[in-house]
Amino acid sequence: MIEAETNLKRERGRAMLATNTFGLWAGFLDRLPLTEATAVAKRIEACGVDTIWLPEWSGVEPFIRAGLYLAATDRLKVATGVANAHARDAGAMVAAASTLEASFPGRFLLGLGVSHRAVVERRGHTFPPPLTFMRSYLDAMTSAAQSLPMPPIVLGALGPKMLQLAGSSANGAYSYFCPVAHTVAARKIIRPEAWLVSSQMVSDGHSESWKERVAGYMELCLSMPNYTTNLERFGFGTEDFTTPSDSLIDSLVVADDPELLSTRIRLQRQAGANHVVFQFVPPSSARGVMVLLERNAATLRAATS
């Protein structure tokens, strides 16, 4: 019975996620008071964004904010990108996700990941082998869910084994801080019908110093072994990480020139991405992000349709 329920949920998830859409990494909303954040969410919806992706990083509870953004908008979908599995047991994760699915059917997506060793240990937890932990966690979620309505689930996945698990035991994978070459590799690993979400960093190319500013932002991610180990699979090494090289920056970030941006989106789509999540970097104020989003909205809509 549990297996049958899981399969039904997976079919529903594919139906929800199959369209060619684009998303926006919306961690910048965490810095806003609620009334301002919901007003910005409405503007994001008006730009044609299908889904906003909320990280679990800044101390803001993503499930509460997700519900508030869903209530304030009409069509906008909200995803966690990604919720930390070490922050809640499987039953608590199911309770949060199923409540949002029941309240806003078809508009919430659960992005789920193991986070990073330093982050998990800072919370006072041990960091077990990620694959073993996530496999057991998904099994526990299935047992806890029983007949509860559940949203689609995508796993934060970088390496081949976690990508395989995302394809076999969830609706798909969400990959962050990855080059297009990773999208190509990921699509070959996960099952053909699984959903593949690729993140794409975009910077304000109108400034001559944009690469210097982006390099400063990238240093945070490059301090995390999950990301550097993954980048090594695609030919990058220590010389690219110590001070982010032009080659590394160009592989991960695109300037917001319409032609360059359209080309990068086309490459992501040709590589197998169903949905591309755009993140404007380095992190800016909500006003700055909205200027860039509104300036590029037409290009994003045209390139992803």
What pLDDT sits at residue 7? 47
* Model confidence band, residue 10 (pLDDT cutoffs 50, 70, 90): low
Give tens-digit pLDDT for 79-136: 999 999 999 999 999 999 999 999 999 999 999 999 988 888 888 888 899 999 999 9
Asked whether the predicted pLDDT for residue 250 surpasses 70, the reply is yes
Q: In whole angstroms, give the CA distance from residue 106 to residue 157.
A: 23
Q: Helix 180-189 vs helix 258-271: angle between axes, to the nearest 10 degrees?
A: 20
What pLDDT sits at residue 12? 53
Amino acid at 208: E
Mean pLDDT, rounded, for 26-49: 96
The residues pairing with 77 across neighbouring beta strands, listed in sequence order, are 51
Give tens-digit pLDDT for 222-245: 999 999 999 999 999 999 999 999
Asked whether the predicted pLDDT for residue 43 surpasses 70, the reply is yes
Mean pLDDT, rounded, for 172-187: 98
Torsion angle (degrees, nearest 10) of CA 137, 142, 146, 152 = 110
Report helix, strand or coil for 278: strand
- Alpha carbon 24 to its chain's center: 9
pTM: 0.93
Residue ranges with strand state E in the chain: 21-25, 51-54, 77-80, 83-84, 108-113, 153-156, 172-175, 195-203, 253-255, 275-281
Asked whether the predicted pLDDT for residue 1 surpasses 50, the reply is no
Q: Which CATH number fits domain 2-304: 3.20.20.30, 3.40.190.10, 3.30.559.10, 3.30.70.3400?
A: 3.20.20.30
Report the 10 Å Cβ neighbour count for 299: 17
